[in-house]
């Protein structure tokens, strides 16, 4: 075979079986009718704007409240941590003090000559009369109350003379 360029060899094409493309008719371009946009009534538009403003204001207020609550929670957490550390400190002091209670008792007995009180040294007060209490004086003091000024002066001079 001789060298030939197939691109220019037209004998290889079969023109008999070729179908012609149907002609496409251009569509008729006419004027497009403009549709009018219906205007929103002013009352409805104002109501819509007010509704949006109210919703946004509620949203902003809730965000502000959430922020305040968050700050309060953080402050409460700080106070809780401080109280817990104070509790630990006080418990450690209590434990060391409790261990030394017997030492304090021994020091009071040996060095200060102190003793525990006896049962007969304990006096109980009845609160059956409410929050008030009366101090009763012996009869001789009541009698002295009825004395006049001269009798009191006489008794005073007698006590100095003794």
pLDDT at position 59: 96
Q: Are 119 and 125 in contact (CB under 8 A)?
A: no
pLDDT band of residue 73 (cuts 50, 70, 90) is very high
Query: In degrees rounded to 5, what are phi and psi of residue 10?
Result: -90, -5
- Higher pLDDT pick, 62 / 151: 62
Q: What is the value of pTM for the model shown?
A: 0.34
Angle at 84 between CA 80 and CA 88, to 5 degrees: 170
Residue pLDDT, tens place only, 80-123: 999 999 999 988 887 776 657 777 788 888 888 888 777 777 76
* Longest pairwise C-alpha distance within the chain: 172
Higher pLDDT, 50 or 109: 50
User: Taking a C-beta distance cutoff of 8 angstroms, is the pair 108, 114 a contact?
Assistant: yes
Q: Does the pLDDT at position 75 exceed 90?
A: yes
**Which pLDDT belongs to residue 157?**
77
Name the band, by pLDDT with cuts 50, 70 and 90, for residue 144: low
């Amino acid at each position: 075979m001789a060298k030939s360029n197939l691109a220019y060899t037209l004998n290889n094409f079969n023109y008999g079986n070729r179908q012609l493309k149907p002609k496409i008719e251009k569509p008729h371009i006419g004027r497009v009718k403009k549709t009018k946009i219906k205007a929103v009534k002013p009352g409805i538009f104002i109501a819509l704007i007010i509704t949006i403003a109210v919703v946004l204001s509620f949203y902003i207020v809730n965000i502000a409240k959430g922020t305040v609550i968050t700050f309060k929670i953080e402050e409460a957490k700080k106070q809780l941590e401080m109280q817990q550390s104070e509790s630990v400190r006080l418990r450690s002091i209590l434990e060391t003090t409790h261990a030394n209670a017997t030492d304090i008792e021994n020091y009071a007995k040996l060095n200060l000559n102190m003793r525990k009180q006896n049962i007969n040294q304990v006096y109980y007060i009845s609160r059956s009369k409410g929050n008030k209490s009366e101090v009763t004086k012996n009869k001789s003091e009541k009698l002295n109350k009825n004395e006049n000024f001269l009798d009191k002066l006489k008794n005073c001079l007698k006590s100095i003379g003794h």
